[in-house]
Structure 1
Amino acid sequence: MNRLPLIAPNPPRLSEHVDALRRVEASGVFSNNGPEVQRFEAEATRDLFGGHGASLAVGNATLGLMIAIRAAAGMNPKPGTLALMPAMTFAATAHAAAWAGLTPLICDIDPDDWSACAAAEERALAAHGDRIGVVVPYATFGNAIDLDRYEDYRRRFGVGVVVDAASSLGTRDAAGEGFGARAPFAIVHSMHATKTFAVAEGGLIHSGDPALIATLRVMANFGFDGSRSATLPGINAKLPEILAVMAQAKLTEIERVADHRAALEVAYRGALSALQLQRVSGTRRATQFMAVLLPAHLAHAREAIAARIEADGIATGCYFSPHLGQQPWFQATATIEPTPVADAVGARMLSLPITDAMTVDDALRVADAVQRACREADRIAAVPSAAPRIASVVVIGGGPAGTAMLTSATKRGQLPALAASGLVVVERSDAIGGGQLGRYAITSDSTAQTFLTAVRDNIHPELAQLVDHPAGRAVAAHAGALGVPLTEVGPLLRATGDRLGDIVRANGGSVLTGHEAVAARQVGALWSVTLRRLSDGHVFEQMAHNVVVATGGHQPIDRLVTQQVAGASLAALANGRLIQSDEVLTLGGFERVADILSTRRAPRIAVVGGSTSALTTIALLLKSRPALPLGAGAITLLHRRPLRPFYPSAEAALAEGFTDFGPEDICPVSGFVYRLAGFRLEARELVVRMLGIDGRTPDPRVALHRIGGDDDAAARAIIADADLVVAALGYRPRAVPILDDDGAIALAAQDGRPMVDRHCRILDSNDQPIAGLFGLGLAAGFVPWGPLGGESSFSGQANGLWLWQNDVGQMIVDQVLADEARAAA
């Protein structure tokens, strides 16, 4: 029986259009809006869009989206301008917005037609206001979405609109016209070889507004308007003449092709009516493939179902899973609203073949294979599974801290043994390694060298090779600089996580992405970790000898209610002008601050706290562009403890005239001054300036105020008079319920004390370690000691990727492996 591919490109054969190729050669024009492109544009406008408006052929649809989004957002969008788009669309949509200078704002989808959810769009438009420069809906899988809704948005919100209609060339709307024929905004179609309108590459922008197409034509030609002088932002987006010849040929057959594919869709819908199918609009869709949703209870079995269908000679896919909000790059760079519907729909999505060569009988064969695979998965699900293997350790959280422990194990060649003993890594997102680090618009307080030591010369070649990976080279480019932009650190951590996950799986361990830990219950000498699969809500138990909580930290809002500053309530003093430093430091945070202060001619900002996040917040506010109108003393840092810079030695400190340290402030292992308490890199640079060390001149825009006590009226006045108050009060550990037979175990961290002891063991409310329970990462409260070094005067907590990837992570690995050896004995 013949194999049915998911997609079978069927562009016109150039060998059958020799006369047209000779015509191109004779003209001497091969690009630059030549006669073949002009002919195709005119014919497409006439044949596909009833002669309405105008069309512009471009090199590919992504280029088309880039220029259309840039034009719709106002040609010169200010930094932080958002492009609102649904979670379920192709990565090119978000990439195009980013290349156009905008930040993708990702919203949820409608559960029935899988396009952008109208309520989610309305909420985003209301919440973000004029920060949204353009709305970019996706005509999901060639659907003829409601364009009147987006015209309404244009009128009510003054927002630009660009429709990503990549799969819709050949789709007809409810009136029987080509989709977007009369739209007043840009409709961007694809002519990629895999599309129904298959060429080789190319795109077509159509609009009912010829003036808009004329503007986009200028932008597609370097911004040249009648001369070789740029008048608009431009790029080379022109379609070559040879591709225009192919597009003309495809245009002559698109009606037949689209009708045939529509007939295949009808056959599918009749045969698969028991499954959830997309609610469609329009009189005909230019269908690229047939998308169906598996039953919710079989979402977890999608890979097995696809493999069973593949065994019948039928290829499948799962567009778009992961959706935009689940892809690491956009998690690091975009603003993502809650997407529960897209999460659920994406997890159940299965794409089935629709090609030009298929017959209706082929579609029925595919439908039968799908139904049989689902029935088989149902039978397997009904059989009780064997008791799960008891893991040596469950790591809750696969972000920088959780994977740092795995990295530490690779440095002594212990990760294969750790995995073989029964290692289970649990992570909510679809990938391990990066966590939320790449979402921050700041530089690291670790050097490029620190990040690269995790992989350089590693005994696992797949890790060592990351030094030469694009992500590794991007980090290495910042060698010698004051840190590395965290948006560039994120890709390296994710690439490292991918390879660590491969090593774990290859040696018998498990990496459960798309899962969350609900709770961990102590059962005798073991732990039972309750896990939930996010795709379908399935809950199950994983037994383990040990549990490592590496869920990171957060800045709880309720702390702002109880926080006292100079004897008064911080929330009352700030009176609605209070935000947390984490909001400022994440991508888009500076733009939010700029919006809040936009009506202030000489804004005043109070930053409360003496942590690294406080200094980093100030550094961000000082250097971001466009600059805030900050005058002398515009920013005041209110802190309780003295501000201490790090020095590599006592001699280096004394050479700069810094004498505010004693023997108890020097690390006995490294000789560093204020190794743990001292500010580093960019934060250190700001501190030494503000303290005037070694003749440095303080930044006049920043003032320091050390809080004297509850009677410090000046501190209260600074906060009360500020236009914006930033609370930089540090981080608290994220809660994972820890239980025993009597219920929840009270933890020291719940009282604001360190979560762990000197061996990384989690402490109960009596500061006693809980057997088999470890903590690692931001806000865990670990303090280095003994051979790990650190000054004796240090009284805070030490957070650092280098520590986690080396001594601290190794400390946990050694305890887990020793426990496993005792259990085996």
Structure 2
Amino acid sequence: MHGDHLEIVCGCVIAGAGPAGMGLLFNALKSGAMPDLAKEGLIIVDASPSPGTGRLGEYHITANSVGDVFLDCLRDPALRDVFEPLEHSPAYWRIRRQAQSAPQLSDVAELLAEASTLVLDFIVAHYGVQLWRSTTVTEIVNGGEEYQVWVEADGRSWRIRCRSVVLNLGGVQDPQHLLNSLADQKLALSPSAHIQSADALLRMNAVQLRDYFAPTLASDGRVTVVGGSHSAFSMLENLADALEFAGLKEVTLVHRSQIRLFYESTEAAVTAGYRFDEQRDVCPISGRVNRSGGLRYRALDIGREALSCGRIGKTGVRVNLFQTENGPQGHFESARAALAESAVVVQCTGYQPRLPTLTYANGGPIKLLEVKGGLDSDPSGCPLDISGQRLYGLHLFGLGAGLGVDPRLGSESSFDGRIYGVWQFHHDASGAVIDAVVARLQEPMQEPVSLSRKLLPDREGHRMPFLWPTLVNANS
């Protein structure tokens, strides 16, 4: 099946060095777990060809957390020496100047890429970690006590045998997922409608947006955004800013459930006149209102304006908001009509995980069980397959996967999605994964395997730090 290949054995493979994978590595250093994590060999695999860039910096929106949230990912005594060079980083000082406001994602991306380079260089030098760049994970085989991770690079394939795999390769927005979700609500699009992902549109500048929507505006076509998250309201603002003077007069937003707003405290919510459920909408750990499900910062401003006066920001573009589940009378029918008439429908309904081929050792395919917002996984990110079997040793908690609401993570009980975000990746979410991986590595195997690496070419001279891909919500 795979032809000639080389083989290596290690304890753990981290597949994907984006926000989730790097958050785990940062946290392993901070918590003192890195020696145990790397003891039997740790290999980091990433498809990135070069360091310091990635999709995070391509998004033309602000973060949904203040700058201090990202600085908090770097703020630990155990990392002081590692991050000392950041004192000379312009990106670091730009974020510090925005400590109490939401920075542009391009600045966040630059800072996190620089910090990641420092961490990766440090763990290679001090813990013998191997970095494999420009390497694609093609298949993961579950063999019970061990996993086989098949990768390709430079036209050759390698098989990595390991006890644990941390798999976070980013997320995708599948149009069929949107169609299925609408069908579940007895809603449908016009056969001629064009579905475009927010992931693609949020990476376009104003000129590119005008070029893309020019045919739709010329024919007076209707534009509908589906979703009620941070990205949906960021999308509304970008469309209005770019297209108002190109002829855009109105956008429709179709959202399944109530639009929720985030507040730092119940006192702040009361002062703003926001109505909320003190039992279900307040995080018991932080005291924040709608900590996981609420619009924040710039998206919060856009959301409040849209809800109060039907306008997008300070533009003259109108927005109609239609709630399809338990919404006001007439909303469902209006949403159905809008979707049926739309020329372009923008998908802002979350991500699905980007996965390689997953199989069992007998060759049978593995299909992971999905729930709202991600995968059905335990607190350490171990997913279930569709038969209900837990895949111990495999951990996913990044974009498109997420973690369920758990007392250790903190969330409001009314939130029924999955929790993910840069701050969580660097703290509680990755902490549970680290504990589970280290515990598995310390368990004796029934049939121990040799740790010989003699078949593997020396790639140390080719190591490079990895990219920060698609943005995730930076929940704190």
TM-score by length of 1: 0.49
SS in structure 1 at match of 2:162? strand
Query: Match of 1:746, as an amino acid?
Result: K
Equivalent residue for 2:462? Answer: none
State the distance in 2 between where 1:745 and 1:807 align: 28
Equivalent residue for 1:707? Answer: 324
Q: How far does residue 393 in structure 1 lie from its aligned partner after superposition? A: 1.1
Q: Is contact 2:351–2:374 with CA below 8 Å preserved after alignment?
A: no
Q: Is contact 2:168–2:398 with CA below 8 Å preserved after alignment?
A: yes
Distance verdict in 2 for CA 1:596–1:429, change over 3 Å: closer
How many residue pairs match? The answer is 431
Distance verdict in 2 for CA 1:776–1:697, change over 3 Å: closer
State the distance in 1 between where 2:341 and 2:212 align: 15
Query: Match of 2:230, as an amino acid?
Result: T
Equivalent residue for 1:636? Answer: 252
Q: How far does residue 580 in structure 1 lie from its aligned partner after superposition? A: 1.8
Query: Match of 2:163, as an amino acid?
Result: H
Q: Is contact 1:405–1:809 with CA below 8 Å preserved after alignment?
A: yes
Q: Is contact 2:188–2:340 with CA below 8 Å preserved after alignment?
A: no
Of residues 465, 475, 489 in structure 1, which corresponds to 2:95? 475
Equivalent residue for 1:514? Answer: 134
* 1:661 lines up with 2:277 in the alignment: yes
Q: Is contact 2:254–2:322 with CA below 8 Å preserved after alignment?
A: yes
Query: Match of 2:148, as an amino acid?
Result: S
Of residues 609, 612, 622 in structure 1, which corresponds to 2:240? 622
SS in structure 2 at match of 1:488? helix
SS in structure 1 at match of 2:300? helix
Q: Is contact 1:606–1:638 with CA below 8 Å preserved after alignment?
A: yes
Query: Match of 2:146, as an amino acid?
Result: L
SS in structure 1 at match of 2:163? strand
Equivalent residue for 2:430? Answer: 809
Query: Match of 1:466, as an amino acid?
Result: L
Aligned residue runs from structure 1 range 732-747, under 5 A: 732-742=352-362, 743-747=364-368
Question: Rg larger in 1 or in 2?
Answer: 1
After superposition, what is the alpha-carbon deviation per residue over 1:774-806, rounded to whole angstroms, capped at 9, x for unaligned? 102111131231132111221011121000000
Equivalent residue for 1:691? Answer: 307
Q: How far does residue 413 in structure 1 lie from its aligned partner after superposition? A: 2.9
After superposition, what is the alpha-carbon deviation per residue over 1:469-520, rounded to whole angstroms, capped at 9, x for unaligned? 1221232233332x22222222222212211211221111111111011111
After superposition, what is the alpha-carbon deviation per residue over 1:107-162, rounded to whole angstroms, capped at 9, x for unaligned? xxxxxxxxxxxxxxxxxxxxxxxxxxxxxxxxxxxxxxxxxxxxxxxxxxxxxxxx
Query: Match of 1:614, as an amino acid?
Result: A
After superposition, what is the alpha-carbon deviation per residue over 1:169-219, rounded to whole angstroms, capped at 9, x for unaligned? xxxxxxxxxxxxxxxxxxxxxxxxxxxxxxxxxxxxxxxxxxxxxxxxxxx
State the distance in 1 between where 2:190 and 2:382 align: 34
Equivalent residue for 2:204? Answer: 587
Equivalent residue for 2:167? Answer: 549
Q: How far does residue 551 in structure 1 lie from its aligned partner after superposition? A: 0.7
State the distance in 1 between where 2:116 and 2:194 align: 39
Unaligned stretches of 5+ residues in structure 1: 1-381
Q: Is contact 1:604–1:722 with CA below 8 Å preserved after alignment?
A: yes
Equivalent residue for 2:106? Answer: 487
Of residues 240, 265, 276 in structure 2, which corresponds to 1:649? 265
Equivalent residue for 1:610? Answer: 228
State the distance in 2 between where 1:451 and 1:625 align: 32
Distance verdict in 2 for CA 1:637–1:787, change over 3 Å: same
Equivalent residue for 1:670? Answer: 286
Q: Is contact 2:12–2:162 with CA below 8 Å preserved after alignment?
A: yes
Equivalent residue for 2:468? Answer: none
Distance verdict in 2 for CA 1:554–1:666, change over 3 Å: same
SS in structure 2 at match of 1:691? helix
Q: Is contact 2:58–2:203 with CA below 8 Å preserved after alignment?
A: yes
Q: Is contact 1:402–1:550 with CA below 8 Å preserved after alignment?
A: yes
TM-score by length of 2: 0.82
State the distance in 2 between where 1:698 and 1:691 align: 14
State the distance in 2 between where 1:797 and 1:418 align: 26
Q: How far does residue 410 in structure 1 lie from its aligned partner after superposition? A: 1.9
Aligned residue runs from structure 1 range 124-139, under 5 A: none
State the distance in 1 between where 2:427 and 2:434 align: 10
Aligned residue runs from structure 1 range 752-791, under 5 A: 754-791=375-412
SS in structure 2 at match of 1:587? coil
Query: Match of 1:783, as an amino acid?
Result: G
Of residues 151, 174, 198 in structure 2, which corresponds to 1:531? 151
* 1:597 lines up with 2:213 in the alignment: yes
Aligned residue runs from structure 1 range 447-466, under 5 A: 447-460=66-79, 461-466=81-86
Equivalent residue for 2:344? Answer: 724
Q: Specify which structure has the bigger relative contact order, considering alpha-carbon pairs within 8 angstroms and separated by 6 or more residues.
A: 2
Q: Is contact 1:443–1:485 with CA below 8 Å preserved after alignment?
A: yes
State the distance in 1 between where 2:202 and 2:433 align: 31
Q: How far does residue 403 in structure 1 lie from its aligned partner after superposition? A: 0.8
Of residues 7, 15, 27 in structure 2, which corresponds to 1:408? 27
SS in structure 1 at match of 2:375? coil
Aligned residue runs from structure 1 range 227-306, under 5 A: none
* 1:396 lines up with 2:12 in the alignment: no
State the distance in 2 between where 1:677 and 1:524 align: 36
Distance verdict in 2 for CA 1:444–1:628, change over 3 Å: farther
Distance verdict in 2 for CA 1:788–1:562, change over 3 Å: closer
Query: Match of 1:669, as an amino acid?
Result: I
Answer with 399-408 or 602-611: which moved more: 602-611
Distance verdict in 2 for CA 1:544–1:768, change over 3 Å: same
Please give the root-mean-square deviation of Cα atoms over the aligned residues, in Å.
Answer: 3.0
